[in-house]
Chains A and B, each alone.
Chain A
């Protein structure tokens, strides 16, 4: 009984894992209704995992000889990732059943990927980190090419797989360097080894650079962003929504944990890297999106830019910066799922349309949807008093307080440039002549779009729950600073 009690903090992962296995079996042995049953049962499984995560709030534990850590930082990000998973899964049903892709494996693979993200967020040594990353991405490679009859989708999966394997290679090379120079894989032991050594050795710096390169690929920060537009465009739209929401949050959480718990003494070294990829991502996200005509590609560039903004908070390197990043990620998650609810609703004559031009005159055919979408676009652009403005405000404030004025100024300029293409979508929706009507929105998408639009509008009234939870989580990661 003692052993069981010790492993109780693992309960959410165990529930998700066993639930997924159960769903896999349900899908295999239920040929007619399998997809629908599995899809329906996935919600309670994810809900139970979230419930046990929230129930244990404040409990800290380190399990499996220090390779698995459970604290509020991991818990908050896990809740975000699982909520993102529930919402994207909920949204995908209409698209999948209309395009004949509604199979039980889709749900099962997404759940496995979420399990991998939870493992990433709790990873406390190099092997656990790598295994979590691989569990997460292997499932994603498969769902990226889920529409296997389409060349685009197969290409997306293939590209993602090859480049993902390359990034894993870089990550592993970095891990081997770090292990070689510190003699340990555990994050705390690595941190201790770097303290006693004085100035970090060249080998450690090389290892750090390679590990950061591998992680930057997962959050698609420039210069490791090349795959993003193609994969976003080629993958089935619900999968793209999932890509934009969940894996980025998990990888960002892992990145923060790695630099703060394994390399706290090497802040001058990683700070340069983070500042560079942050500025490059913000600029590329802003300028790359201008010429796009496909809305999924546009969202890819938008997500690259948003990861750049979030990295501003990481670069600040203090607790305030981490709070900013966490708030940013929460707001980003909600805005992204809302925007994708709208993209998923872009169907004409029972077919998906993906060009921005297809939104012409949406305000005349479906005013509520156009209004909510416009609010989300304003929010993504960072216009006050919507939620997206506050997200940017917190990270820039943290950067200013850490005396990183250049970073903050570049960030503000990049968000001004970025506002152009968000506003262009609004202009197309409200001021252009309408095309033939877009199909009626399915009710799930209406609900998701409505909720996220309401959040974006009303965040200014009552932001406390989000800010407080981010504060608690940041405190769990950096108790002393």
Chain B
């Protein structure tokens, strides 16, 4: 009972947040609603017993992707009001295409027959007997699938090297902060004490 309640809570909030992502006028608000949607989907995963997926979703999408979005939205000064200006004039065509797509989907889904053999399949369980699914992942990730894991690691390393090669520019005449030089400075290096005779000036 409680599970059902929470399912509707998370699912409903996810749908509302998803709608608000599109509808929000302020792009920063849209990204914040996106984060809310991610949190609710993570909740749905938790209800299914897939806690690894739930936490990965939070770490990757909220922790990295959504924050990146926020930065991009704030740094690229996109005029969203101008982007949305043609909205009304395109609305009829958009509605027409949307309607056709909807009709097609209904027709396709209406004719859909599930393979009868599917009902005989054993229920797939997100949580195998007695181990959490994080542990289940851990058991195969570094043993059975070590090759894929390492290959993906190489791929990410190449991506990093490539990003640095293509974007790092060494410009001349830039004054960088040199912390060790700052710390090593002593009063003797920078202050000179002079006796100034009255009425003479330096």
A139 contacts the other chain (Cβ, under 8 Å)? yes
Contact of B162 among A116, A131, A134, A139 (CB under 8 A): A139
Chain B 165-188, CB-CB to A under 8 Å as 1, else 0, gives 110000000000000000000000
The stretch from B52-60, B92-100, B146-154 touching chain A is: B146-154
User: Given A65-B144, A138-B158, A138-B159, A109–B165 Cβ distance below 8 Å?
Assistant: yes
B155 contacts the other chain (Cβ, under 8 Å)? yes
A475 contacts the other chain (Cβ, under 8 Å)? no
Q: Which B118-159 residues have a C-beta within 8 angstroms of A?
A: 144, 146-148, 151-152, 154-155, 157-159
B158 touches A112 (CB 8 A): yes
The stretch from A141-149, A227-235, A289-297 touching chain B is: A141-149
Smallest CB gap from B165: residue in A: A105
B5 contacts the other chain (Cβ, under 8 Å)? no
User: Given A64-B146, A142-B166, A148-B166, A119–B161 Cβ distance below 8 Å?
Assistant: no
Q: Which A124-146 residues have a C-beta within 8 angstroms of B?
A: 127-128, 131-132, 134-135, 138-139, 141-142, 145-146
Number of A-B contacts defined by CB within 8 Å? 55
CB neighbours of B161 from chain A (8 A): 24, 105, 108-109, 112, 142
A103 touches B165 (CB 8 A): yes
A439 contacts the other chain (Cβ, under 8 Å)? no
Chain A 134-177, CB-CB to B under 8 Å as 1, else 0, gives 11001101100110100000000100000000000000000000
User: Given A64-B146, A65-B144, A109–B162 Cβ distance below 8 Å?
Assistant: yes
B166 touches A131 (CB 8 A): no
The prevalent SS among residues of A at the interface is helix
Assembly CA distance A432 to B21 (angstroms): 67
A159 nearest CB across to chain B (Å)? 15
Assembly CA distance A463 to B115 (angstroms): 57
CB neighbours of A24 from chain B (8 A): 161
Tell me how many residues of B have a C-beta within 8 Å of chain A.
Answer: 16
CB neighbours of A141 from chain B (8 A): 162
Most B C-beta atoms less than 10 A away, residue of A63, A67, A119, A128: A67
Chain B 101-122, CB-CB to A under 8 Å as 1, else 0, gives 0000000000000000000000
A127 touches B162 (CB 8 A): no
CB neighbours of B147 from chain A (8 A): 63-64, 67-68, 128
B159 touches A146 (CB 8 A): no
A115 contacts the other chain (Cβ, under 8 Å)? yes
CB neighbours of A138 from chain B (8 A): 155, 158-159, 162
Assembly CA distance A109 to B158 (angstroms): 7
- Interface size class, chain A: 20 to 34
CB neighbours of B165 from chain A (8 A): 103, 105, 109, 142, 146
Chain A 278-310, CB-CB to B under 8 Å as 1, else 0, gives 000000000000000000000000000000000
CB neighbours of A134 from chain B (8 A): 155
The prevalent SS among residues of B at the interface is helix
CB neighbours of B162 from chain A (8 A): 109, 138-139, 141-142
A17 contacts the other chain (Cβ, under 8 Å)? yes
B144 touches A112 (CB 8 A): no
B145 nearest CB across to chain A (Å)? 8
Assembly CA distance A141 to B162 (angstroms): 9
CB neighbours of A132 from chain B (8 A): 151
A131 touches B158 (CB 8 A): no
User: Given A64-B146, A108-B161, A128–B166 Cβ distance below 8 Å?
Assistant: no
Smallest CB gap from A139: residue in B: B158
Contact of B151 among A65, A105, A108, A119 (CB under 8 A): A119
Smallest CB gap from B159: residue in A: A138
Assembly CA distance A128 to B144 (angstroms): 13
B121 nearest CB across to chain A (Å)? 12
Most A C-beta atoms less than 10 A away, residue of B148, B155, B161: B161
CB neighbours of B155 from chain A (8 A): 131, 134-135, 138
A183 nearest CB across to chain B (Å)? 12
CB neighbours of B159 from chain A (8 A): 138
User: Given A139-B162, A142-B166, A148-B166, A128–B148 Cβ distance below 8 Å?
Assistant: yes
B166 touches A135 (CB 8 A): no
Most B C-beta atoms less than 10 A away, residue of A17, A24, A131, A141: A131
A67 touches B154 (CB 8 A): no
CB neighbours of B148 from chain A (8 A): 67, 127-128, 131
Assembly CA distance A128 to B158 (angstroms): 17
Smallest CB gap from B166: residue in A: A148
Assembly CA distance A116 to B151 (angstroms): 9
CB neighbours of B146 from chain A (8 A): 64
User: Given A24-B161, A103-B165, A105-B165, A135–B151 Cβ distance below 8 Å?
Assistant: yes
B154 touches A135 (CB 8 A): yes
Smallest CB gap from A157: residue in B: B166
A: residues with CB less than 8 A from B are 17, 24, 63-65, 67-68, 103, 105, 108-109, 112, 115-116, 119, 127-128, 131-132, 134-135, 138-139, 141-142, 145-146, 148, 157
For the complex with contacts A64-B146, A109-B162, A139-B162, 13 further pairs of A-B residues with Cβ separation under 8 Å are A24-B161, A67-B148, A68-B147, A103-B165, A116-B154, A128-B147, A131-B148, A131-B151, A132-B151, A135-B155, A142-B165, A142-B166, A146-B165
Of the A-B pairs whose beta carbons lie under 8 Å apart in the complex, a sample of 25, sorted by A's number, is A17-B154, A63-B147, A103-B165, A105-B161, A105-B164, A105-B165, A108-B161, A109-B161, A109-B165, A116-B154, A119-B151, A128-B151, A131-B148, A131-B151, A135-B151, A138-B155, A138-B159, A139-B162, A142-B158, A142-B161, A142-B162, A145-B166, A146-B165, A148-B166, A157-B166
3 smallest beta-carbon distances between A and B, as pairs: A142-B162, A131-B151, A64-B147
